[in-house]
Each structure stands twice: as C-alpha cells, then as structure tokens.
C-alpha cells in the first residue's frame, strides 16, 4: 500500500490496483496548497465541506465517490472495488451540535486496516472505538481545535492501538486555518518513536509495519 499526504486532510492511497483520494480540499481557497489534479478510481469524503474536505472539481474524472456519512455503521461493511469500507458518524465539535456531523472512515485492503479520523472533534466512547481497535495505520488530525483537542488525543490513540500514526490537519505555511503546528501533537507522545521521512509518500505492507508504535511525519506533496 502506498500512502501520499497531499496536505491538510487529503491523502492518496494506492492499494490492490485501486487509487483513492481522501478528503480533497479546494485550491487556492484552502490557503496555499496546490490543486489536487490527479486522477483516481475512488474519492472518499468524510463529510461535506467543499473548501477543505470534499472538493471534487479539481480531480481528473472519471471517479466514483464514497461518502463517509452514507457508509454502513459497524458492523456493517460496504465493499467498493474490492476494498471494505465502514464508518461511524461523529462530530467536529465536542458539543456534538446538529450540523457538525462528520465521520470516521475505515478501510481494509492488502491485509491492512487503515482508520481515517477525518474532522473528529471529541473523544470516542468504548463502543465507538471497538471496530477500529488494532488498526495498522491511523490518519489523525493533529492541529487541535476545532478537531480533537490535545489532552484527549493520547487516550484515543491508546484505545485504537495503531502500529503506525500519520498526523494530518495541522498548521503549515500552506493552510489559512487557526490550528496548531505539529509540535503540539508530538508533545503528546514524548516516548513514542517518531520518524520524519523527508518525503510525501510512504509504502507499507503487513510485514514492514513497525513493531513499536511509530509516528510517521510526511511532507505535504502540494
């Protein structure tokens, strides 16, 4: 499986002959990230926010759209192009206000389970965490409010028990949101192994997963 971080919450995942784009932003309205002008088989959006998370207009067609808020809740599964998806409706705000609905999206392929937390803004209950325990790869917002606040992050990660953590959705010179830089997130994990790859793309399979929980910092590709 090949994972590329475009920037903000947008990723490209290539697995089992399928190319997916997660949560594409709209450029230049999102800040300074360059447009995502690649083609893809699937575009997965955690919720409807055309500026930062669900912009389809700059991706080369044709592609199929998978909407997290329309996926089956666990234990339900929807298989799209051989990839098994499920999702849990959550909220961007800790108050869980109507209209703040977002989703946690998980997919399984090539013997790997990837959990994409999207714009999650609060702690998860044990029942909400259960389907995602033992994830191999966790894509997690790392910029604090309006997504999940830093004091809640260590317990959430401990409960999911991922092998590989890839932070996203944090402050860089390319984004115009009032969110924190990556260092605030890294301070939550003073004893974890941290690897700054110096690249935007990483390849992983079940045999190359780190034995020790590792935070993998990618450069943004756009």
pLDDT digits 0-9 by tens, 29-70: 988 999 999 999 999 999 999 999 999 999 999 999 999 999
- What average pLDDT does the structure give for the chain? 96
User: Residues 120, 148: contact at Cβ < 8 Å?
Assistant: yes
**Structural contact between residues 111 and 206, judged by C-beta atoms closer than 8 angstroms:** yes
CA gap 211, 134 in Å, rounded: 13
Q: What's residue 106's pLDDT? A: 98
pTM to 2 decimals? 0.96
Whole-number pLDDT of residue 97? 86
Share of the chain above pLDDT 90, in %: 95
Position 5 confidence tier, pLDDT thresholds 50, 70, 90 = very high
Please determine, for residue 98, whether its predicted confidence score (pLDDT) is greater than 90: no
User: What are the tens digits of pLDDT across the range 155-200?
Assistant: 999 999 999 999 999 999 999 899 999 999 999 999 999 999 999 9
Domains and CATH numbers, the chain: 2-217 (3.60.15.10)
Quote the pLDDT of residue 128.
Answer: 97
| Torsional sign, CA 41, 72, 102, 84 | negative
Nearest Cα to 216, choosing from 144, 138, 153, 151? 138
Predicted confidence at residue 144, as pLDDT, reads 97
| Length of the chain measured in residues | 222
């Amino acid at each position: 499986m090949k994972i590329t971080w475009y920037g903000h919450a947008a990723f490209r995942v290539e697995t089992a002959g399928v190319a997916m784009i997660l949560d594409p932003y709209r450029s230049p309205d999102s800040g300074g990230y360059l447009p995502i002008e690649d083609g893809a088989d699937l575009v997965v959006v955690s919720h409807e926010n055309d500026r930062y998370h669900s912009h389809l207009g700059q991706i080369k067609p044709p592609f199929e759209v998978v909407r997290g808020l329309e996926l089956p809740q666990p234990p339900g599964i929807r298989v799209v192009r051989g990839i098994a998806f499920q999702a849990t409706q959550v909220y961007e705000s800790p108050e869980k206000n109507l209209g703040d609905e977002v989703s946690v999206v998980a997919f399984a392929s090539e013997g790997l389970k990837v959990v994409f937390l999207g714009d999650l803004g609060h702690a998860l209950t044990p029942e909400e965490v259960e389907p995602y325990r033992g994830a191999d790869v966790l894509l997690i917002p790392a910029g604090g409010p309006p997504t999940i606040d830093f004091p809640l992050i260590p317990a959430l990660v401990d409960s999911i028990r991922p092998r590989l953590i890839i932070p996203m959705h944090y402050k860089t010179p390319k984004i115009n949101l009032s969110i924190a830089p990556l260092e605030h997130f890294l301070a939550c994990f003073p004893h974890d192994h941290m690897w700054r790859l110096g690249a935007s793309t990483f390849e992983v399979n079940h045999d190359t997963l780190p034995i020790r929980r590792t935070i993998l910092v990618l450069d943004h590709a756009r």
